Amino acid sequence: MRLPFVPFLLLFCLLPVAAVAAPPSVAVKFFIVNPDDSTAGVPVTVTVEARKQNNQVDTGYQSDVTLVAGGSATGGGVVDIVNGVGTRQINDLVAETVTLSLSDTETTGLDVSSTQTTIFSTGSGGGGGGGTPSWNQQKFWFRDDDGSEITDTGYGAENVSQNTNITNVPQGTPFRLRFAIKLGTADGTISPRVEFKEGIDCTTGSWAIITPASASFNLMASTNFDDSAPTTQQLVGGLNFVAGKILESTNPASAQSMLKGQSTEYEWSLKAADDVPLGRTYSFRVTNDAATLDAYEACPTLTIQPPPSQPISGGVTPTTISFSGKAFPGAQVFVVDKDSHRETIVSQDVITNDDGSFNTSFVGVLKSQHSFGLLIKDKEGRTTQTKFFNVNTLADDLVEKDIVVPPTVAFVRSVVTRGDEATITGFASPRSSVVVEMDGTIKKEVRVADDGSYTVAAPTSMLEFGSHRVRVKQLLSRGEKEEEKESDFSPTKNLVVSRLAVPKTDFSGDGRVDIKDWSIFLSRWASKDAGSRRLIDLNEDGAIDISDFSIFVRNIRKR
């Protein structure tokens, strides 16, 4: 049942809006990437990034933000930010200009002033009608050639991220490269053709088509799929997906007709030639049978890696980066290379040892000073505190042993009524101890379970109303003759102790229920996204109805 909410806005228009403070972070703002325009009824993917002061994406940022869509558009709601980037799909059945804005519902304290607009125009048979089509290479994914279109993995490891460049490809090694392509402006036809060149850039330079006999990279016949098998595993979401092909001997692909707003994906089975120069970096792109596309949002690159003991021309020896220590079972371990221009994931492993121990390494030909970071995510996707180590790659290797990784930390509920227990949870090394610290003074120690999980119930009766800083570290017992070893602290999380009887209605997490929460409630009530609507199921009966509205109204009157 949909309620006529507009009159209630007049009742609450004078409610105070409190400023929300949050601890400092590398990221300082959320930014809405300018989305494509579309046709009424054709969804648009909106990308939100957590950016640093210099406008680079903070790839270690994990907190979420809410996207608000104006007009008659649907699809707004909480954007799941992973490694600094998140997306939501916006749709509108009415031809209009939709204003997109942000709301800091998760109390991050980041700037949320970014806005954009997207235009939904009148369609023509669901497409764009006449005019000049525009083609956009949107995403890419390097993959192993070890299975079918659905079962193969990211290059070198399971679930390697999309848009992740790789720097550890040996000579003579097979791999697969997938591209996502979107059509805008008007209907059109494309014959996707994959090309390569030396250097980092998708728009300039001398490009070469990849054939079974081309230099440096070749099309490679694979035993894992049939040539021209259709793609179904999508890099881009939404209903407007047109299956492309996986190719091992065909380049360019046969012509594909598409409607405005539709996306497709093509994947080629490739091989680095046996004599491709070591230490060189190469870029890849798709063209429309040699015609450059209109936009290249993401440009895949890879670097050829020599064997560990083999120097390249000029006597430069490869650098070995090695990390080992204790984390938690099932975690993903990433090695991140950070130079003056960008951060790149160069290695990924999954911890399979029951005790959480890991040993990961990367070998590459690198110049001058670099900084390498160890990024670890637990099996529920939470990230530990990232630590970077500097190394002069012309002269030294980097070997860091006996690293004790900080625990991950989360709350079952980030807003609690004073007197209730706050439940803190996360992962650490099995059978270690976790010390929880609140506001730098209150401490509590618990043992970690055999699976690496821990749970702490913290009383709140003695805490002041408002926000409290929580962080954790782990302690490892090294045996009778060895000293106890401890990790660094985890990232700091904010726990809000509220005056509210039902803090679940405090959607913004600022310890009060006011006009901001009212706006979020309305947005989620009108949303067609099931996950967004579940967040306002205040009586937890599985239905969004007048009972939930009644609970919210009672709480907003108690402000």
CA 299 to chain centre: 17
- Alpha-carbon distance 537 to 178, whole Å? 40
Local confidence pLDDT in tens for the 559 residues of the chain: 444 444 344 334 434 444 333 334 588 999 998 888 777 777 888 999 999 887 788 888 888 899 998 887 888 888 989 888 999 988 887 777 888 999 888 888 888 888 888 887 765 434 445 578 889 998 899 998 888 887 777 887 655 667 888 877 888 889 999 999 999 888 899 999 999 998 888 888 889 999 998 889 999 999 888 899 988 877 776 668 888 999 999 999 999 999 888 889 999 999 998 888 877 889 999 999 999 998 898 889 888 876 544 554 445 566 777 888 888 988 888 888 776 666 777 777 777 788 888 888 776 656 666 788 888 888 888 888 777 877 766 556 778 888 889 999 988 777 787 888 888 989 999 988 999 998 888 888 899 998 899 998 888 888 888 888 899 999 887 555 456 788 889 888 888 887 665 566 767 666 667 777 788 888 778 777 666 677 777 777 778 888 778 777 776 655 4
> Which of 321, 324, 336, 326 has its CA nearest to residue 406?
326
> Residue 243 phi/psi, 5° resolution?
-60, 130
Name the β-bridge partners of 470: 438, 493
∠ CA 148-154-155 to the nearest 5 degrees?
105
CB 430 within 8 A of CB 328: yes
* pLDDT score of 217: 94
263-272 and 241-242 beta bridge pairing = parallel
Name the DSSP letter for residue 302: E
The DSSP annotation for 73-88 comes to: -B--EEE--BTTEEEE
- Alpha-carbon distance 250 to 228, whole Å? 8
Residues 444/449/452/454 CA torsion (nearest 10 deg): -30
* pLDDT score of 3: 44
CB 519 within 8 A of CB 525: no
44-51 and 85-90 beta bridge pairing = antiparallel
Whether pTM > 0.95 for this model: the answer is: no
Sheet of 77-79: strand order equals 38-39, 116-121, 96-103, 65-69, 77-79
The DSSP annotation for 454-515 comes to: EEEEEE-TTSPSEEEEEEEEEEE---TTS--EEPPPPPPEEEEEES-SSGGG-TT-SSS-SH
* pLDDT score of 556: 67
314 half-sphere exposure, CB direction, 13 A CA radius? 8
H/E stretch holding 103? strand 96-103
- Alpha-carbon distance 537 to 519, whole Å? 16
Token pair 């993959």: residue: 143
Token pair 């979420």: residue: 64
* pLDDT score of 30: 93
Q: Which residues contact 101 (CB under 8 A, 6 or more apart)?
A: 32, 67, 68, 70, 112, 114, 115
Long-range contacts of 553-558 (CB under 8 A, 24+ apart): 555/500, 555/501, 555/502, 555/505, 555/513, 556/12, 556/15, 556/505, 556/513, 556/514, 556/517, 556/518, 558/500, 558/501, 558/513
- Alpha-carbon distance 129 to 124, whole Å? 5
Tokens, residue 183: 């059509």
Tokens, residue 52: 């640093």
Q: Could you give the residue ranges of the DSSP H alpha helices within 13-127?
A: none
CA 121 to chain centre: 30
- Alpha-carbon distance 55 to 351, whole Å? 33
* pLDDT score of 269: 95
* pLDDT score of 178: 94
Tokens, residue 35: 């989305």
Report the interhelical angle of 546-556 vs 515-526 (nearest 10°): 170
Distances 218 to 193, 214, 556 between C-alpha atoms, Å: 13, 6, 64
| Range list of β-strands (E), 156-289 | 166-170, 174-184, 188-190, 192-198, 208-209, 217-219, 229-230, 241-242, 245-247, 256-258, 263-272, 281-288
- Alpha-carbon distance 99 to 445, whole Å? 48
Tokens, residue 465: 């109303």
Token pair 């180590």: residue: 389
- Alpha-carbon distance 260 to 381, whole Å? 35
CB 216 within 8 A of CB 276: yes
> Which of 387, 384, 367, 366 has its CA nearest to residue 376?
384
CB 79 within 8 A of CB 133: no
- Alpha-carbon distance 464 to 33, whole Å? 39
Name the DSSP letter for residue 248: S
**Amino acid, res. 84:** G
